[in-house]
Structure 1
């Protein structure tokens, strides 16, 4: 049984064969393939390609050619792309009918892993594409987060934090995909349980009125309270006739009682001192 290679050392380790040869050392194995014979993977983790960058790469290819070979695997009809979809798109845009490629044997699992690692190393994936790719690999091949982390050279916590982003609502995910909020800010949004409060925080963030630290502080204030705290809050509001908020902390907590003018404050003082009661 062939020894499975770890992915943590980078793309070069993935593209090496069992004898330890790398992409550079198999230069004689580079072949010219027709672009229309190479099919991108249908489950390619990267879903969005910036047309401007493709056009820039196409201009470079017109001048200098394709400097780095694509990596493909042979199928019954044609070839499936393992690594280099942006180069393939740019080559087609540049009018090339053939491109240099390395043909290697790979299982569907290896193809998926190599494609993911290439995109991560080139920083071609947005956070949501990356998270979905991790989730798909774990579901399809039965990886735990720890096993996947070892395969692609990331920490388990990195994988966990990435996949956790998929718990966001579609609106927040859309802003994350567009780069309007960062992964760190998105994770902080996740800690806000109430949809209205989360939307308010997202709006503030999009208006550049807050930062991650401010968000974290606000998130702690808006975390969903347990049943006892909610009941206590309601009882206090009924007793005092005003808005009351219980803010739990690691040890104990505090109670905020609102008043609206001097007369209202005096009324609350009388209630708390036992000299009156709420209407």
Structure 2
């Protein structure tokens, strides 16, 4: 018969198979051929060091209903603690079993120390469907810092590609205001990845606010950033009538005021003495954005 898969990533599954207790344990029935033992729910206690501190009532009620109908389909991971057993992974299943009045739960008993127990608990927490992007990134960071794991080792532990882990960790470098948008689901990881390519934090934040306001797609954001980074077109030798630093400062101020890219082109004097007129370009990306810019300029729809 195939070995029981726990579903915590190939690297951690291997650790669990290695640490699985196959011999009889005091206070517990002998395990079956897959290493699964059935324990009274009264003997299984929650882990006070469990990384997950909150359990949504709605999700727990759904799981309890499923447990009443189908039982516990995936065994809990536990370790012996005196004459009882401590949950390493599966506290939500234990809570659902108690709520469903099940007398016993299937478990796999592991022989592991505190450090290994915490690592498994952290990785199980990262398998949750309701984790937001920043919670996942912070989970990867905690694994790296507490257990000195490389990105490659983290990826193997959680069953993800190394590039996926690396991209998640980079999102933690974004300003706090943007991380809040990511936490709330107002920005995607794809948006965050593109914003990381913008050098100035203030410009990142302006773009993030605009994404939320205008519901911009990742592709639309990429086009905006590409345009911001595009080098200026080469022109005939000419001298700006305003200092370059002043023009940049003015462009930045207008960018903040209008919430969109603004380019200021100073009047210029060509090599032959001829003057070239100046201009101000205000970018907009759809009709709603145009209306917003016009309102800032004091032009309402009734004036058109």
Same fold (TM over 0.5): yes
Matches within 5 A, 1:34-53: 34=42, 37-40=44-47, 42-44=49-51, 46=52, 49-53=55-59
- For each residue in 1:41-72, what CA deviation from the matched residue of structure 2 results, as whole angstroms up to 9, or x when unmatched? 5352x555433211111222234433332111
> 1:167 matched to which residue of 2?
173
TM-score by length of 2: 0.63
> 2:200 matched to which residue of 1?
194
Matches within 5 A, 1:224-243: 235-236=243-244
- For each residue in 1:131-190, what CA deviation from the matched residue of structure 2 results, as whole angstroms up to 9, or x when unmatched? 112211211122222333344443332222111111223332222222222111122223
Unaligned runs of 5+ in 2: 1-7, 23-30, 232-239, 253-262, 278-304
Shift of 1:73: 1.5
Taking the aligned partners of 1:155 and 1:241, their CA distance within structure 2 comes to: 41
- For each residue in 1:72-130, what CA deviation from the matched residue of structure 2 results, as whole angstroms up to 9, or x when unmatched? 11235843322212212333444557543332212334323433443444545322222
TM-score by length of 1: 0.67
Taking the aligned partners of 1:186 and 1:145, their CA distance within structure 2 comes to: 19
Taking the aligned partners of 2:142 and 2:173, their CA distance within structure 1 comes to: 15
Change (3 A) 1:214 1:273: farther
Q: Are the counterparts in 2 of residues 116 and 133 from structure 1 also a CA contact under 8 Å?
A: yes
Among residues 138, 147, 151, which one is paired with 1:132 in the alignment?
A: 138
- For each residue in 1:4-29, what CA deviation from the matched residue of structure 2 results, as whole angstroms up to 9, or x when unmatched? xxx752765443246898997123x2
SS in 2 for 1:16: helix
| 1:207 matched to 2:213 | yes
> 2:34 matched to which residue of 1?
25
Farther-moved stretch of structure 1 (7-16 vs 182-191): 7-16
Among residues 71, 79, 88, which one is paired with 1:82 in the alignment?
A: 88
Change (3 A) 1:216 1:144: same
Change (3 A) 1:47 1:203: farther
How many pairs align? 242
Shift of 1:221: 5.2
